[in-house]
């Protein structure tokens, strides 16, 4: 089977939409490549994060809209993204090392979705 696309959908309430949009654009230093606005209950934007499409959207009562998602992103270093997450007040756990070598921290977006950010040691480390 061949898959053509993968999208991570983050449903948020209409009240959480703008704070979440600001959060993803500031913390991940990205801009949407696509968006729509059919009113408060049907609007959204798409971001390209590490080759996966992250879709932030509102729709009337599709699923739980608060803290329903937990995902993680691997980054080359925490040095760029961690200060932005701190500035956004999003950090829920300070950087730490896992026994298997990952260096990571945890944060949450304004809707309560949990995000792990981690690095993997290189063979030289």
124 part of a folded domain: no
Give, in degrees to the nearest 5, the angle at Cα 122 between 120 and 125: 110
Position 122 scores a pLDDT of: 78
Q: What is the pLDDT of residues 68-108, one digit of tens each?
A: 678 899 999 999 999 999 999 999 999 999 988 999 999 99
pLDDT value at 21 more than 90: yes
Q: What's the pLDDT band for 60 if we cut at 50, 70, 90?
A: low
Residue 59 lies in a domain: yes
Q: Is there a domain that residue 107 lies in? A: yes
Query: Does residue 21 lie within any of the structural domains?
Result: yes
Please count the other Cβ atoms lying within 10 Å of the Cβ belonging to residue 100.
7
More confident residue, 122 or 106: 106
Q: How far is CA 105 from the centre of its chain?
A: 13
In a domain, 1, yes or no: no
Is pLDDT at 66 greater than 90 in this prediction?
no
What is the total count of domains within the chain? 1
Q: Which residue has the higher pLDDT, 65 or 120?
A: 120
Output the domain CATH number for residue 54.
3.10.180.10
Q: Which domain holds residue 37?
A: 7-119
């Amino acid at each position: 089977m061949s898959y053509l696309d993968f999208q991570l959908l983050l449903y948020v309430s209409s009240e959480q939409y703008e704070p979440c949009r600001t959060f993803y654009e500031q913390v991940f230093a990205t801009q949407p490549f696509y968006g729509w606005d059919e009113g408060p209950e049907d609007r959204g934007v798409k971001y390209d994060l590490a080759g996966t499409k992250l879709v932030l959207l509102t729709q009337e009562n599709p699923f739980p809209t608060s803290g329903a998602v937990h995902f993680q992103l691997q980054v080359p270093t925490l040095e760029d993204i961690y200060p932005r997450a701190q500035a956004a007040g999003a950090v829920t756990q300070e950087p730490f090392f896992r026994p298997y070598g990952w260096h990571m921290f945890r944060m949450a977006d304004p809707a309560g979705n949990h995000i792990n950010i981690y690095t993997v040691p290189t063979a030289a480390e």
